[in-house]
Structure 1
């Protein structure tokens, strides 16, 4: 009943407003001074609950530092909003993190690509196709807390998510204004059809846009510092899928928590562009573990003039390939699966109680390796033994015939 009343009040307010559409604005520009300018009416995330989420810090020419979110979609690539990277000099990426002070991954990049239709010269103007893909020069190592998310398939690029349960995550706030702990938050939202969203925002809503509003409390929303972050949907296969990149909300005086929808860029329509930039087919992506490094120990040989020792040989050690799907060194690997809980059926915003317990599976792999005698080393040992014997014999002859000239002996092998 309360939800229906809130919706009716919002609709009435819109009708009473001027005939013009409500102007959208970037999330960073809304409620900058508010202590609540971040995802609200949601929950703090558990480690591993949103393993794809990345926190970005953009440094600009005048030394200004802003914050955005992003989504890891490959070991070497992430997706964010174009208005986050437009005009930036460098980008610092933290991933595998719930608390920003303890990231599993941190790296810096100066390589990113804004969609060609996005005008970088108008970074303060809300535009369609507000999407960017950034290259990570240091590959991500996957773990229970850090993993790529599937990009919306091309087949679902223009799907209508009206009324479907979605969720968004973000650290909220800009770097310079943040005073509270940088803990990842998340919130449930509901999909809004494009025609319905266009009736609020007008022509800024295109086929490559997706909108989402509050789930059951009007204050549920993305807000300042959440731009570029993920909007996620779990389909019938229960696999998290990136269906939106946070872009804009209603301009002040409406703001983040007005109950009006927020706007997101759909990634599904841009698969051909992603492939052109990255040479990766994200629509059919199967990431393989990197090749296992084989370590070879150097063989050393020791000789003296008084004895004839056999050369000391260190055998070659081969590292067996790991039997798990992680990219770390082949040790015992523990994989923890944390699922996002189903939305609460009532209209309260209490923490979900249906969170499943993490499941752990550990596998041990055989660390034994086989070593065989190298025939080349054996042949080398024989030649060195002959060489040493000749040297010893020469020394004895030199002592016996002191007045003879020394001759240089060369042993060819």
Structure 2
């Protein structure tokens, strides 16, 4: 199967955004979720998702932070207009193997953000446990996963201000590799997922850097993916979306932060506080979005015909 004509898209977008075919979250449902409003050195604005992994650190995708200047962080609420915590930072660390000068989808799309403060935990602000290094290559084929973010309702669609979440079904890396025309973007540190019970369920523009989580063996949520890329045909298709497995990067995260966030699911019961997956869902709202775009411009960087593209 040739990769000719296959496009892979990056999910960051210059505006407020939404998950595809998902549901609105309630306050406290997803307390580990962050919203990032990122400003470049030339003043362009992009939005991404992220997660809290420690009182002083967040986790997101490297393509969200590379060559950026200011990062405005919203935490502790599902509404972008009413966060419980709103602050700014300029300190982040992209994985050293992520090449910021190359504007196409690539592995190692992971970044840690240093908060400029100690973030106190509350019922609305909590960390998410990261996938263990033991499970870094685990096959999640057929497993129910959950993604969340302020990503668009469909490709280039409307943008709300309320955090959305959606169930996705994990697929094997081999299936994902075939779906993407045997692209070399699908590597061991990739995890892919598609619609759980509706083929249009997916992440979309603006969900980059947000979490993919699973209820782990001990009943606690673990983040098994960082939203990274989509098939070039758009968001609301049956093609799987791609995420980065944080379990592959514990050594690097420890090196940068000085904190060991790894754990062994076979060694001891977890004491990590993490929220439950929402068990109820409101019907998806229709009509016009409540959000306001930062601007109309969509930056699509195309490269060689056989190579992936990033899509903001």
What is the TM-score normalised by the length of structure 1?
Answer: 0.62
Over alpha carbons, which structure has the higher Rg?
Answer: 1
Greater per-residue strand proportion? 2
Name which of 143, 152, 155 aligns with 2:122. 143
Note the alpha carbon deviations across 1:343-400, whole angstroms, 9 max, x for none. Answer: 99xxxx958xxxxxxxxxxxxxxxxxxxxxxxxxxxxxxxxxxxxxxxxxxxxxxxxx
Name the counterpart of 1:130: 109
Name the counterpart of 1:255: 234
Q: Which runs of 5+ in 2 are unaligned?
A: 265-272, 285-312
The Cα shift of 1:19 comes to 6.2
Name the counterpart of 1:395: none
Q: Which runs of 5+ in 1 are unaligned?
A: 1-14, 286-334, 352-413
For the 8 Å contact 1:21–1:200, the answer to whether it is kept is: no
Name the counterpart of 1:166: 145
Name the counterpart of 1:86: 66
Name the counterpart of 1:274: 253
Counterparts of 1:257-406 in structure 2, within 5 Å, are 257-284=236-263, 339-342=276-279
Cα distance change, pair 120–139 in 1 and its aligned pair in 2 (3 A): same
Name which of 215, 232, 236 aligns with 2:213. 232
Name the counterpart of 1:72: 52
For 1:126 and 1:78, locate their aligned partners in 2 and report how far apart those are by CA, in whole Å: 22
Query: Aligned to 2:93, what secondary structure does the other structure show?
Result: strand
For the 8 Å contact 2:213–2:221, the answer to whether it is kept is: yes
For 1:211 and 1:279, locate their aligned partners in 2 and report how far apart those are by CA, in whole Å: 29
Note the alpha carbon deviations across 1:122-180, whole angstroms, 9 max, x for none. Answer: 2x31011100001001111111111000011111111110000000000125xxx9975
Name the counterpart of 1:182: 161
Give me the CA root mean square deviation: 2.7
Which structure 1 residue ranges, 4+ long, deviate > 6 Å from structure 2? none
What is the TM-score normalised by the length of structure 2?
Answer: 0.81
Greater per-residue helix proportion? 1
Aligned residues between the structures: 272
Name the counterpart of 1:26: 10
Name the counterpart of 2:24: 44
The Cα shift of 1:338 comes to 6.3
For 1:343 and 1:192, locate their aligned partners in 2 and report how far apart those are by CA, in whole Å: 24
The Cα shift of 1:60 comes to 0.5
Cα distance change, pair 21–271 in 1 and its aligned pair in 2 (3 A): farther
